[in-house]
Each structure stands twice: as C-alpha cells, then as structure tokens.
Amino acid sequence: MKIFHSPRHVLHHGRGELNDGVLMPCHERPARAEAFLDAVRAGGFGDLLEPGDHGLAPILAIHTEPYVRFLQDAWAEWLEARKVTDDDAPDALPLVWPTRTLRQIEPKDIDGRLSYYSFDAGTPVMKGTWTALRAAADTVISTQKAVSGGERAALSLQRPPGHHAAADLMGGYCYLNFAAIAAQAFRADGAKRVAILDVDYHHGNGTQSIFYRRDDVLVVNIHADPAHEFPYFLGYADERGEGAGDGANINLPLPPETGWPAWSETLDLAAHHVQAFRPDALVLSLGLDTYAKDPLGRFGLEAENYTQAGARIAALGLPTVIVLEGGYAVEALGANLAAFLAGFLERV
C-alpha cells in the first residue's frame, strides 16, 4: 500500500481551544500524526511517500475562492490588527457567530471574518496553518492519484482532519475537507459515481453539506446521534439529500455508549448502501475516536474491532482512498490504525 505524508503538518500546532468554558490545550495536535507514522513504519504496511504539488485547483473544486483566500490571509491580517509579531501573537480564534437573526454578511475586520468563516471556537489559525493545509491537500490528492492510477488502495496520513469543513466554513478542527477533495478528484479523473463512507464518531457535517444536492457522490455517515453530540445541528436520520441528491445522503446515528455489536451491524447496513450505489471508487473517512477510551467520544470499540471493520470495508472490493479524520487518545492511535490496516490489507 502506498502511504502519503508531509512533515509540514507540524506547522499547525494550536496552543488552545475553548472547551467546557476553559481555554485548554488542543486535542488535535502534531503528536497524533507522529503516532500514526510510528504505527505504519513499525507495521510495514507500505511505502511512505511525500506528496507532489497539486496546486490550488483541487481545493477550489470544493471550497469557495473567498474562503480559500481568507485561509491564506487570515494570519497576516490577525497580526496587522493587533500590531504584534509572529512570536507575540496568540492563536486566532473567532468571537461571535452570525446565527439566526443576524445577517450572513462577510465583515472587513479579521475578528468578524474569523467568525463568519467558522462555527466553533476550537479551530484556531496560526502562522503555519495555511502551509500545513496546502501540504495536507497535496497529500490527499497524491493518495487519490495513486488509486486512480491503478492502486487498489492508498492511505492519506494528512493532518488536520477535514470532514467538518464545508465549502466556506471551518470548525471541529477542520479547515479543508480532504474526503470531499478526494471524491471530486475521482470525478475529475473519470469516475461516474463515488461513495464516501465516514466512520468517525462525529458526523461529517461538512461532507454532507458539500454533496447534499448531488447524485454522483453518495455520502454515508455512521456517527453519534447529534441530539447528544457535536456537531449537534446536522447528522439526523431524516437528512436524505435534496433535489438531484435526494437519497444520496445516508445518516446512521447511534446512541451514546454504542458498542461493537450494534456498531458492526450498522457498518453492514452502510456497506449495503455503498454496494447498492455501485460506485467506481470509495473514499473512507477513517475516524478512530470511536475507541472506548477516546476523550472526545462515547462509543465502545476496541483494537480488535478495528481489524474486523477494516476487513469488512475491504470486502467491498472498491478502489479506496483512506483519509484520516478524528481520534484523540494519542497513546492508542497507532495501535488502532495498525489494527484497522491489518484487517483491511488481509482482504485486499
């Protein structure tokens, strides 16, 4: 298996996020990627490769130009507004959100722009954020090109995650939607239909919103019920798509404390939906925050369950791009990824 990774991920290293009313160290941090890297090296799962440079076009195929320009310019604008240097500046975080009775209009001030383009206070921007995001986008496109070029499967070890990012919105540690970028790249390379299977603990609200009115990309999510879990405002079972996309969005929410038996039955149902769609390629949003001891999740999966899940997904027999999403129990991330890859590769 080809595995793509860029060391530039370390340039994105938030100092803090607002959590439970307290500014605390970020759960999404460079140590996550290092745990993944250690696991794939130790397990000998494939060749570790640096990505090529694919430019902005794949990003702009999913994200709006004003939003991409904001991500490029936000840090410089933050420094200018505060009259400070890189070394003295805190991370850029939003202050207020344009909800319900407020107008959806982009302000000129950077504080307003941060709020306009985000939906939470846990997704900081810093000096290296854009460079890391470009490297992550190159990583996932290099992975997709490998599969489009004939590889049965390939792994994108990019960071940060992406499935909460919408076309013009960041949140949930996500800025660019890498699963969506990969799916659209498959379409550009000639695939008629692409399926995205998201198995992260949290609903991939950004991925859903990007493809909600399209019938060429099926989006299937297995996730915690948003009535009880982030992102709260998307991910309900009655969200089936709109217009041409009616029926091409499948949400399979599960209650807190769901364990392997119920989760695996739901994976079988998700696999059925994918098979019925008859896609030419699969993008897997692999979140490992379904782990029993994850600090941000309340499911009950253990390492051996990831081996079983990997085998079930590989059995779909589809050209597959694996994109890493959440998972914050850093001490167990490597073992859980290794378990998943062992099961997946056994069936490839």
Q: Enumerate the active-site residues.
A: 164
Amino acid at position 201, single letter: Y
**CB–CB of 120/172 below 8 Å?**
yes
At 169, list the tokens: 């919105």
The dihedral through the CA atoms of 177, 182, 184, 185 has a sign that is positive
Between the CA of residue 142 and those of 1, 9, 135, 229, 322, what are the distances in Å? 13, 16, 10, 33, 12
Helices (H), ranges, the chain: 30-43, 57-60, 65-82, 110-116, 129-148, 178-188, 205-211, 260-277, 303-314, 330-347
In the block, which residue shows the tokens 């590769």?
345
CA distance 208 to 252: 13
Kindly give the interhelix angle for 178-188 and 129-148, rounded to the nearest 10 degrees: 40
CA 343 to chain centre: 22
Kindly give the interhelix angle for 303-314 and 330-347, rounded to the nearest 10 degrees: 30
In the block, which residue shows the tokens 């794949």?
58
